[in-house]
Structure 1
Amino acid sequence: MQHKLIAFIGGGNMAQAIVLGLLKQGYPAEQIIVNDPNETKRAFFAELGVQTAQDNAVSAKRADAVLLAVKPQMMAEVCRCLAGVDFSDKLLISIAAGISTARLQALIPSAQSVVRVMPNTPALVNEGMAGLFAAKNTAQVDCIFVQELLNTVGKTLWLHDEAQMHAVTAASGSSPAYFFQMLEAMQQALVEMNLDADSACALVRQAIFGAAKMAIDNTQLDFSTLRRNVTSKGGTTEAALAVFNAQHFNQIVAQAMQACAARSQEMEKLF
């Protein structure tokens, strides 16, 4: 991939994941600047050999690509400090939930090449899934760069309709928490069956890992086939699934994902 000078505005978990992924792929540390007001975070990045700073505008002026890794509610304030920077020949990337490309271009009017990204926390273990959407006038070379950038920490999927970003948020952006809540509930149920917490945790962790590997390694099989392959007629799995179905499990999941997407839509209007 190209070795653009990238300025990260914000040094949180996702920025850390991307920077670490870049460095593992051999990206030059001197081509990365991380801006964050927190001294501890800056020290973390400095130990990796990358540049650190506090003045967002100065770093943005120097950079070829600026990646906004701040909370949605902070975006307007951060962009006010960047509005005076000429972005006409720079790539602007945002990983903030609920901030549309139109909103970004309104906040930074000179920005023409703009890519919105919805990553997820498995990027921290190089198994992320990111939805990507490029504003109308974004250069193809910039789209390629963003895809290669996010591929350092997982996989990517391009969207042709920005409204689909709400579905991506529900499908991958927030979904790790869905799985973690189910694992937590399973562990608690096993403890109530008189297993100790560590044993329960070990069983649940390996079960989810194995199930995920079966899904990934058997892409020719749909999820319903994988489920049926585990379910013997009249057996224990069927008994468990009968309870899920009686409690309308599929509808609960659908409602939860719809709530997630609806909140994503609300955030577009808020920030």
Structure 2
Amino acid sequence: MAAAAGLPGSITLVGAGKMGFALLEGWVAQGLSGEGVTIVEPQPSPALVALAQERGFRLNPEDRAAARALILAVKPQALDQVAPAIAGEAGADTLVVSILAGKRIADLSARLPQARFFVRAMPNTPAAIGRGITGAYAAPAVDPEGRAVAEALLAAVGEVVWVESEALVDSVTAVSGSGPAYVFYFVECLTKAGVEAGLPEETAARLARATVAGAGELLRQSADATPATLRRNVTSPGGTTAAALEVLMAKDGLEPLLERAVAAARRRAGELSG
């Protein structure tokens, strides 16, 4: 298999649920194909089976060897069950990239004792449309080449931001990993508020969804403007937006609420270790 766009020549993907499959589709979009890709997924979806057949990937083969890159994309709670079956694929030269929330490098090393090179990463669900962002941490043993390989794997589904402390991966998880759910819930709440204001539910839902999607795209395209600047640009003194923001920006408003939410997510990520 010829490597595509900086991807390694041999890849084993363990877990091809929503996030694992999104990564796989991102690699395929970069031209990845061939038997150098092994997928371990005990319950493969029809889409995964079709993609493996189309691209020549090895899906759940009995004979498996150590890969250049091993990507762990199972649920954190499944690590103990999965590790014995894949330990042989994490060799001394294998780069292990884990997207398991909360699982420390020490946890991974204890279960994959031959492996020496670990990267912890946390992508988010917009990866499914190539618009995700991943926070990643490379263990000290990972050299620049290994870091570049990890970035090529992760960048297939969006931006990559590196952090210099493993402890910060839990913070990444709490902000961007879980963050899309916060945005979706905001749309739910805005929809309900619209209904309370007298709008038909379908109209309120359409307005709320398009407003958040459009504001997000405006934010993305306004790289030189801070969110605070964009907020001020649409806030006329004494106007309707200012009246609403007075509520949202109160001492018991949105900021302390989000701080508590992020702290709770970060705390839970820590509880998942071990």
TM value normalised by structure 2:
0.90
Match of 1:151 among 155, 159, 166: 155
Residues 37-87 of structure 1 deviation map (CA, whole Å, 9 limit, x = unaligned)? 11435524435424243368x43x152211111111111221122334561
1:185 aligns with 2:186: no
Identity of aligned residues (%): 35
Tell me how far apart the structure 1 counterparts of residues 90 and 204 of structure 2 sit (CA, whole Å).
55
Taking only aligned residues, the RMSD between alpha carbons, in angstroms, comes to: 1.9
Matches within 5 A, 1:2-151: 2-40=7-45, 42-54=48-60, 58-59=63-64, 61-85=65-89, 87-151=91-155
Deviates more, 1:106-115 or 1:193-202: 193-202
Give the partner amino acid of 2:55: G
CA distance in 1, matches of 2:253, 2:199: 28
Consecutive unaligned residues in structure 1, runs of 5 or more: none
- Aligned-partner Cα distance in 2 for 1:115–1:106: 15
Secondary structure at 2:118's aligned position in 1? Answer: strand
Contact 1:14 1:69 in 2 (8 A): yes
CA change 1:87–1:209 in 2 (3 A) is: same
- Moved beyond 6 Å, runs of 4+: none
CA separation in 1, counterparts of 2:193 and 2:84? Answer: 50
3-state SS, counterpart of residue 249 of structure 2: helix
Amino acid paired to 1:122: P
| Mapped partners of 2:52, 2:137: distance in 1 | 31
> Secondary structure at 1:83's aligned position in 2?
helix
Bigger mean CA deviation after superposition, 131-140 or 35-44:
35-44
Query: What amino acid is the match of 1:14?
Result: M
For the 8 Å contact 2:195–2:204, the answer to whether it is kept is yes
Q: TM-score scaled by structure 1? A: 0.91
Instruction: Indicate the residue corresponding to 1:215 in structure 2.
Output: 219
The structure where helix makes up a greater share of residues is 1
* 2:131 partner letter: E
Deviations along 1:117-169, one digit per CA (max 9) or x if unpaired, are: 11111100101110111112113212101101111110001111111111111
For these two proteins, the number of residue pairs brought into alignment is: 267
